[in-house]
Amino acid sequence: MDADPFEHWYGSQMDEDEDTNFKADEWIFSTISHNVGSVSDVVEKGAEREKVDMWVDSQPSSRSPGVDLMLVRYAKMNHKSLNVYSWLPFRAQHFRNIFQRLHLPAQHFHLRATGGAHTGAFVFQTHRDSVGKVTRLDFLIRVGHGSSTRFSSRWAFALTWDASLGRTTGFLEGLSETHMLELKALLKSCSPHLGHPLTIPEILLHIVSATLNERIRIPRENEFYELERRTGLTQMMQTSAEERHTMWAWSFHDFQRTTTQANKFNTVLAYLRRRFRFASHLAERLLQINDELSLLDFEEVGMKITREGGHQRRERLVNRIGLLQSYEHQTECVQKRIDNLKTVLYTVLSQIDSKNQGKIARINLQIAQAVRNDSIPMRTIAYVTLLFLPGAFIAAIFGMNFFQFDPQTRELIIAKSFWQFWALVISVTILVIVIWNVWVYLEKKAETDFRKKKGFGEELQIGESDADILEM
């Protein structure tokens, strides 16, 4: 087979970000070698970084059918870093050299990072000799990420099957301790079939499917069913306390917490649907390859191995496709139930809000009525004041010493200094008006500064008082 013309490009990003992404202390290395028909337990051997090259140079470990796997996993799972999938266990050139010596495809460098980290990816390719016989089969599997580190699977698998030996060499990244135990158990149970090129891909497909279903879908669905039961939107039996504490009696924080949980469930299931779809496509592709193997021309060893068990493997893959499609459909159904739950939550909350708005309106009406009743005496006092104020003003004027009555001429004599009264009155009136306006300005400014300091008016903050209103 001719060299891949894109081989340099596959590792270009790895070269560019090498200094940032090379994490020497973040990886644990181990190896597994197991032969066809072996009844002994599968042994995982730890390998120091310095001895990885020794293991690579010793491959294949046997001339008989079987598997040789290099396992690379994170020293600490559930890293919070967003680009942890781009971390490198080796320097770029060293990584590339290991793959060349193991005859693994360089496209792995692209798929393990940006090429398939979020979506998932699968690649299959054949290598032929000069006369057209298949010499090697390559498989690349990149499992897509989940919605969080809790549900993620940073798995990247590179495999090559040697047709002359019936032996698979692989580089497996990201498996946890639990998945390693599962892998070893499956390698032992599938020992008679380890020489077949599809055995390791099928084992990895099984681990992916089981993880998505047993460890993510079922636990998350059960959590949602418990949430749904508390809302009363299910036929499941409720406790007496839950029957009394229906949604109509919830506080605002109950609605807030339940809506947040429902949105998180929806996000997990959206990712899960995509990952089930990827697993289903992977199973369909393995089924196609299983059918294509009968059409390929291998050397004698490869021909014999690939012709064995094809019908049983086909049935298993067809059955697995059906299961994965059922899981995906169930995930879609639960998503619709979550959407229904959120709709009911928003509807009930809106009705409670409308009900409380009506109560608040009635309270405001009562306050307005009380204010109106209080204004009647004040209005009466104002009327009486208006009635007597003119007479009082005139009496006050004529009671001043600015006026004298001349009994001889029977005329009213106005003092020449009477203008002083008006000058003083007008000046004091203007001064009082100015002082009053300054006082009003300072009061408004102080109130504005206080509101800015407390953040009032910038953003509506819903707190305990709103919960109290909802519980009225």
N-to-C CA span, the chain = 78
- In angstroms, rounded to a whole number, what is the distance separating the alpha carbons of residues 332 and 326? 10
168, 135, 157, 139: which is closest to 36 by C-alpha?
A: 168
Q: C-alpha distances in angstroms, 251 versus 243, 254, 255, 259, 261?
A: 15, 5, 7, 13, 16
Question: CA 6 from chain center: how many Å?
Answer: 34
Tokens at residue 147, please? 């919605």
State the pLDDT at residue 245: 56
State the pLDDT at residue 468: 43
Q: C-alpha distances in angstroms, 369 versus 361, 362, 375, 376, 395?
A: 12, 10, 10, 11, 40
Q: What is the pLDDT of residues 216-245, one digit of tens each?
A: 999 999 989 888 888 877 665 555 555 555
Q: C-alpha distances in angstroms, 180 versus 45, 168, 208, 220?
A: 12, 18, 12, 23
- In angstroms, rounded to a whole number, what is the distance separating the alpha carbons of residues 139 and 123? 6
Q: What is the pLDDT of residues 267-304, one digit of tens each?
A: 999 999 999 999 999 999 999 999 998 888 887 777 77
Tokens at residue 245, please? 């504490």
Domains of the chain, residue spans:
7-237+244-349
List Cβ neighbours of 381 (8 Å cut-off, separation of 6 or more).
none
Determine the 3-state secondary structure of 347 from DSSP: helix
List Cβ neighbours of 412 (8 Å cut-off, separation of 6 or more).
403, 404, 405, 406
State the pLDDT at residue 466: 42
Beta-carbon count within 10 A of 273 CB: 19
Tokens at residue 129, please? 């000799």
Measure the CA dihedral 11/12/13/16, to 10°: 120
DSSP letter (8 states) at residue 81: -
- Helix orientation angle between 199-210 and 252-293, rounded to the nearest 10 degrees: 170
Tokens at residue 27, please? 């990886």
Beta pairing, strands 27-35 & 66-74: antiparallel
> Is 462 buried (19+), middle (13-18) or exposed (0-12) by CB count in 10 A?
exposed
168 bridge partner residues = 67, 161
- Give percent helix, percent strand, percent coil of the chain, each to the nearest 5: 60, 15, 25
State the pLDDT at residue 250: 81
Tokens at residue 385, please? 């004041």
State the pLDDT at residue 125: 93
State the pLDDT at residue 295: 86
36, 112, 29, 33: which is closest to 69 by C-alpha?
A: 33
Beta-carbon count within 10 A of 317 CB: 23
Question: CA 189 from chain center: how many Å?
Answer: 37
- In angstroms, rounded to a whole number, what is the distance separating the alpha carbons of residues 285 and 269? 24
153, 195, 185, 190: which is closest to 172 by C-alpha?
A: 153
- In angstroms, rounded to a whole number, what is the distance separating the alpha carbons of residues 416 and 406? 15
State the pLDDT at residue 230: 82
Q: What is the pLDDT along the chain (472 residues), one digit of tens a residue?
A: 467 888 888 888 888 888 888 988 889 999 999 999 888 889 999 888 888 999 999 998 888 899 999 999 888 765 556 577 788 999 999 999 999 999 999 999 999 888 887 888 999 999 998 888 999 999 999 998 876 666 677 899 999 999 989 999 999 998 888 899 999 999 999 999 999 999 999 999 999 999 999 999 999 999 898 888 888 776 655 555 555 557 777 888 888 888 999 999 999 999 999 999 999 999 999 999 999 988 888 877 777 787 778 899 999 999 999 999 999 999 999 999 999 989 988 888 888 888 888 888 888 888 888 887 777 777 788 878 878 777 777 777 767 777 777 778 778 777 777 787 788 888 888 988 999 899 989 988 888 888 787 665 444 343 344 434 333 3
Q: C-alpha distances in angstroms, 79 versus 83, 109, 167, 267?
A: 10, 20, 34, 20
8 Å CB contact between 155 and 175? yes
Measure the CA dihedral 399/405/411/417, to 10°: -60
State the pLDDT at residue 471: 39
State the pLDDT at residue 459: 42
- In angstroms, rounded to a whole number, what is the distance separating the alpha carbons of residues 57 and 40? 25
